[in-house]
Each structure stands twice: as structure tokens, then as C-alpha cells.
A and B are shown apart, each in its own frame.
Chain A
């Protein structure tokens, strides 16, 4: 029986906040650092999105349907492409036209809504599916949650929305002796199939590729294909999930990461019995082996593989709680600008910046963080949020006056 190799890339760019001071509260409701967001997006586009998209297109053409990949592009990233780098959006559209690329569903603003409010979660997934349809002409069928956050509950909610494939982390503390290299199902709704990330093989590319202290450095495509072969002697499917920015941004062009990817499909197709498949194809091709019980939420972040990178300390808990306690009031205003800002304030990145786990995963956290300390991140966020609260209160009061007239 032939086996499956499934590549999925996460594409996301946050809306970073500007330095929002106490004196700005009530005076200035422009929260985001347009300049930084534009500059960073353009830089990443040049280093990663454009060269990598053109490489993927080249490989798809070369292997005539044998090379397939999947993307999840957050809604806010799509907005930034439209605004600052339309050429990136065009190149994704070209990839979509090859039919060898699957686009996954996620929350529009890359948020943690699944951990706070089912209603808001579903609304954001719907908004994201509409955006994918608008740009790429396809309706996503497989789902992946922000940072691969998953629990039995969340899986069942996603199944309710009509999805029957979902991606998550092959977390050790959940799997125990079990292998991530099979298809599993949700513990509540067995129709929902689960693809689990093989984090060892994924991280070999995403984190360890250029690490010269790694005894396996340098990693070549042939060596890697050999590992893939060994990994699936008895198993069926290998899921390689990673940030798209791995290519060219986290692992610079000079590390040879592009050459590695250029040679990989050939090495895999020649030397292994793995076939490239997209998540939906994997779910169709293979039989689930067992239900997976995940009572508490897991994710792909940090050593703990839980949600503590976003809601682990008192700063994050406070910001998170204050943000979601406003949901009803914000939605009742029906004010588009307010709802748009509300969703942007929900981006998980804001909470990630407030993480205090300096030591164990500090390197990764530091890389992604525009602030010097989590405390600065918290203060800045709460200042902007306080202004947002004022606007919502004002809008609510105005609405009340109207209806009483």
C-alpha cells in the first residue's frame, strides 16, 4: 500500500500595535503600527513568500501533479497582502490554479476564540472561509485551528461547522506510546478525522535545519528522504506542518533551505514509497486507527505543547478575560469598524508577546517579539484596549439613545 506525505504551511502576519501611550486613550484610536507592519511584510515577502511560491509552482509543474502541498493563510495576512504586497496574493492565486494546493480553514484573525467563545469562534471561521473563497475560488474543507490548538470540545465544534478533517499537534503527552503517523478521530464525533503533526521530522526542517551543533548537519534531501522512509516502515502517513516563514526568513536563503526543498520531491518520489497528498486526500485515503482523547487543549507551541504560551500567566489571563468579556457588547453595536478592531485585538500574537517563559523557549519567543519585555507588551495592549472599551461604551450609549427616542 502506498503511504502519504502531507506538507502544510502556515502563513500569518500579525497587526502589531504601535507604541500606544496612556495619554492617547480617548484621543487617538489608531492602534496599529502601519509602518512596521508594512516593512516587515515586504521584507518577508521578498525573502520568503515570493521566492518560495515560485519554487512551489516550479515543482508542481515539474512533477505534474505528484507534488502537492497545503496552506493555511490567516485572514489578517490576506488583508495585509492586499494592502501592501498584492503580488504575493497573485502568486498564491497561481498556486491555487494548479489544483495541487489545498487551502485550509482557520480563524480569520488567527485568534484564540476557540478557547473563549464558541459563537465568536464560528463567526471567525465563517469569515475566513468567505475570504478564501473570494481570493482563491475554493471553499476550504479541512480545518486547522490557530497554532494547532485542539481539544475534544473544539474538534466537535469544528465538526458542527461541517468540516470532517482537522490538523493538530502529535503531542507526546497525549499520544503516549501511540504513533502520530496514522489517522485518528475526534473522541466526541468519530466523523471528524485528525491529522497529527510529526514534530520530530517537522522540526528537523523548521528549527534544526541550519543548526551546526546538530550532529546531522548538514541536512540533505537524500538524508531526509531516508529518515522519512525509516519513519514509516510500519506507519501510514507523515505530516510535516510548519510556518511558511521557515523558508527564507527563519532559515535564511544562505542556509540552502531552498535548494533542499527543490531537491526534496525528487528524492522522496524516487527513494520512498511515500506519495504527496493534501490533508483532505489523506483523510480520504487512509482509515482512522482510533479515537484520540484530548480533554485539555493542546497546541504546537513550546515544550509544553499546551496553551500556556498565550494564556499562561496573570498578564495574559487578565488581557484575555477582559477582551472576551466584551464580546456581546461589541457585537451588539453592529459597528463594522469596531468589530474589525475587536478581531485584530484578538490576534494570538498579542498574547504571545506577554509570555514570561523566558528561559525554556526564550529563543523562539524573542524572535517573534517586537517588545523588550512582556510587561511592556501588556501595558501597551491594555492602553489600546482601554481606548477600544471607551469607543464601544460610546457606541452602546448612542444606540440606547436612538432606540429610546
Chain B
């Protein structure tokens, strides 16, 4: 079986969890004899190609033949991502304007023909343009390679997946790692992204979600037919995992929050629970590691509660410092309001840190022994923190069972399920 896979990033150069997940997943698929052509907008050449063949979209010249152009543009006309939105215009003017757009599109196409597009592969201001150009290049790649199925990861690559499907006629599987509803609150989502996501889901033959939580969002918020949405939980690859030894400067027990300090991650519930624990256990310490748009508000709240000498902020942590932070921690808390999956609790458990997770996270569906609380239930969260700090029996069991559970989550198993999804898509089931 041969797969044309569209991603946005791949280790070692990653900004989020998507690249890590793609890496683990492709390695798992390779074990089941799946051959993968992995396309990414901007490869550096030092990616791990043991399981995949990397195609750097920045190196692919745009070479649809001239005569195909009309058909091609008709096939990929969805790519004009709201570029023709003009306010205050009457119908007649609009139709004139419309044909004007058609003309300029041909012109643009001529300019692009034979050229390469230099992708940044980042998440910058030109994201929408990159997403559209990525899809153009994807069409070229699709016409020049043979494969059985197309697999696209997250909204950035959905347009590429659709273009490849229209050109090749092969089935499309899209993989939902996160949705717009996880990135903003329900009444404050990016509608352009939502549209692309919905388009991808509608066009896809199968939709893979990373948890049932996400599956429900896809079905209810995007209105997708439940029969084609399948949950495959993420796994985690700890082969190269090494715990670091650190000199702990403080003897007090430390409870840690690690992640972006944004609405989605629920930092305020962590702070309120911390204040409650400190009333009963004044020598505990709390750390909020990371940054984000709620950081300043969180700092003010901590000051207001009068716990700033027991509640520390580290700012954004990278690589080695993240491991160091885990070594410092006695309890790890992920109070996310909405979390499609959530890899970081698994890292914490692997580092022998007892873990509390919110019920509103995908990872809660696969962990039996982690302590689960509703993100809003700060009393329950405080109880759990206190219990893990005060009763050694509880934390010992949590550590032991946590490591076992994490070790059982293998990409190999997840990959087998994904392979089944491919088979269904190819068979048209």
C-alpha cells in the first residue's frame, strides 16, 4: 500500500505537537508495510527518512501542462480563498469584477507556471497564501506520483489533500488533530479556518479524529456524517526518552502546569486550585511554565491571591528545560478546557510524575489510572493535588500505573487502525 501524505512539519524542526505525531505515526505505519511519500512545505534535509520519503514542496516546480490549465483551474477553483470578497459593490459591477478576477487568475497562473514557491513552513502572516500555494504544488506532486490513498494532517494541508484527490481521483483521508473550537472559544473562532476545515471534512472519504471528544466536535459542530468519522487515539514514542538528573534547589513539593497559557489550557483553574491547596499546605509550590495571551492576567491573579512567593512563572521552556521541569515536579496538572488529545501528561507520566488531567481532554479516554477532574471543578482539582502531595501511597500507585499505561500506548497499534481506515477508503466502504 502506498500513501501520499501531506504534513506541515516533521522533526527535528517542529513548532507544535503535529510534527511529533506525524513522525510516530509514519514509523508505526512502516512496520505494517505501508510505503509513505511525505510532503511538507519546507524540508531542511535533516529529517528522519527511515520510515518515509520526504518531498520538499519548495523544490517542486509547478508544471501542469498549458492545455490542462482550464480543466485544472476548474478542478482546484476552491483555492481562491475568499480573495474575491469586495464590500459595497452592486451585482453588475461584481460580474465585471468577476471576469476581471478570472483574467488576472490566468495571468497569475502564467507567472507561476514552471516556478517554485518558496514556503516558510511556519505559522506566519502569509499562512493563508502558503496554504493555497501548497495545494497548487500538491496537485503537481499528485500527477507525477503513483499511490493508493491520500492522507492529510490538519487544516493547513486539507486544501492540498483535496487538490491531490481531484487530480488523481484517489480516496482522501483527513486526520483531525485539532479543530477551530480547540483554538478559540466557541463564539470566537476563525471562520476562514473553519471553512477550510469543513471543506476538507466534506470532501474526505474518511475522517480520522484523535479522540472521541474531537469526533463529537466534528460530527456536531461541522455536521459531518458520523459513519465516516473514526477515532484513532494518538500514541507516544519514548524510544529515545531519557530522564535528566537535576539539582533541585527547593525541597518543597512542586505542582506543575506546563503548556501555553491560553484560554484553551485552563490556567485560571490551576491558579484557583493552587490557592486552595496552599491554605492547607503552605509549604507546597506551584509552577506555571510556558507563555501565552493569558500570562499577564494569570500573574495579576496570583499576586492578588497573595501567593506569589509560592507560585512561580518560568516563561517559555524549550527542550532540555522541559525535561528539567518534569524532574522538578511532584504532580503534573493539565486542566485543559478543551484538548483534542494532549501528549504532555504522557510525558509527565513517563517521567514518573503523578498526573491530573481534565475530563475534557482526549487523552482521558485512554488513561485509566490518571486522576481525572472536570476543568471547572477547582475543589476536586485541589483535592487531587493535595492527595498526591500528602499521601505517599497514592502518588506511588499513580507513578507505577502511569508508566505501565504509557508504555502500552504504541504507535504500532494506532498505525494498524489507520491502515484499516485506508483499506476502507480504497474499497469505498
Could you list which residues of chain A lie within 8 angstroms of chain B, going by C-beta atoms?
Answer: 21-28, 313-315, 317-319, 321-322, 373, 375, 378-379, 382-383, 385-387, 389-390
Instruction: State the main secondary structure of chain A at its contact with B.
Output: helix
Closest chain-A Cβ to B302's Cβ sits at a distance in Å of 8
Q: Is the CB of B299 within 8 A of A383?
A: no
CB of B324 closer than 8 Å to a CB of A: yes
Shortest distance from the beta carbon of B390 to any chain A beta carbon, whole Å? 21
Nearest-neighbour CB distance to chain B for A384, whole angstroms, equals: 11
Judge whether B249 is part of the interface by a CB distance below 8 angstroms.
yes
B248–A315 touching, CB < 8 Å: no
Which residues of B sit under 8 angstroms from A373, Cβ to Cβ? 296
Are the C-beta atoms of B308 and A318 separated by less than 8 Å?
yes
Q: What residues of B have a CB within 8 angstroms of the CB of A321 in the complex?
A: 306
Residues of B within 8 A of A315 (CB): 299-300, 303, 308
Q: Nearest Cβ in chain B — how far from A316, in angstroms?
A: 8
Within 239-291 of B, Cβ neighbours of A (below 8 Å) are at: 246-251, 287, 289
Q: Are A26 and B250 in contact (CB under 8 A)?
A: yes
Total A-B residue contacts, Cβ distance less than 8 Å: 65
Of the stretches B162-170, B309-317, B354-362, the one at the interface is B309-317
Cβ of B295 under 8 Å from chain A? yes
Considering the chains assembled together, what is the distance between the CA atoms of A315 and B303 in angstroms? 5
Find chain B residues with CB under 8 A from A318 CB.
Answer: 302-304, 306, 308
- Cβ–Cβ contact B296 & A382, under 8 A: no
CB distance from B8 to the nearest CB of A (A): 31
Cα distance A319–B308 in the bound complex, in angstroms = 8
Of the candidates B247, B287, B300, the one whose C-beta lies within 8 Å of that of A22 is: B287
* Leading 7 A-B pairs by shortest Cβ distance: A26-B249, A318-B303, A27-B249, A22-B314, A314-B303, A314-B304, A26-B250
Residue of B nearest to A388 (CB): B309
Question: Could you say which residues of chain A place their CB within 8 Å of the CB of B249?
Answer: 23-28, 387, 390
**Distance from B267 Cβ to chain A, minimum over Cβ atoms (Å):** 14
A22, A24, A313, A389: most-surrounded residue (chain B CB, <10 A): A22
Q: Which residues from B are CB-within-8-Å of A386?
A: 309, 312
Q: Is the CB of B250 within 8 A of A382?
A: no
Report the Cα distance A385→B247, complex, angstroms: 19
| A residues less than 8 Å from B296 (CB atoms) | 373, 375
Residue on A with the closest CB to B300?
Answer: A314
8 A–B contacts from the bound complex (CB under 8 Å) = A23-B321, A23-B324, A314-B300, A315-B300, A318-B303, A322-B309, A378-B299, A386-B312
Which of A21, A314, A373, A385 has the most chain B CB atoms closer than 10 A to its own CB? A314
**A383 and B312 alpha carbons, distance in the complex (Å):** 7
A38→B151 CA distance, assembly (Å): 59
Given the complex, which residues of B lie within 8 Å of A375, measured CB to CB? 295-296, 299
Residues of B within 8 A of A383 (CB): 312
Apart from A313-B300, A378-B308, what 19 extra A-B contacts exist at CB < 8 Å?
A: A21-B314, A23-B246, A23-B324, A23-B328, A24-B249, A25-B312, A26-B250, A314-B303, A318-B302, A318-B303, A322-B306, A322-B309, A375-B296, A379-B299, A382-B308, A382-B309, A383-B312, A385-B309, A387-B249
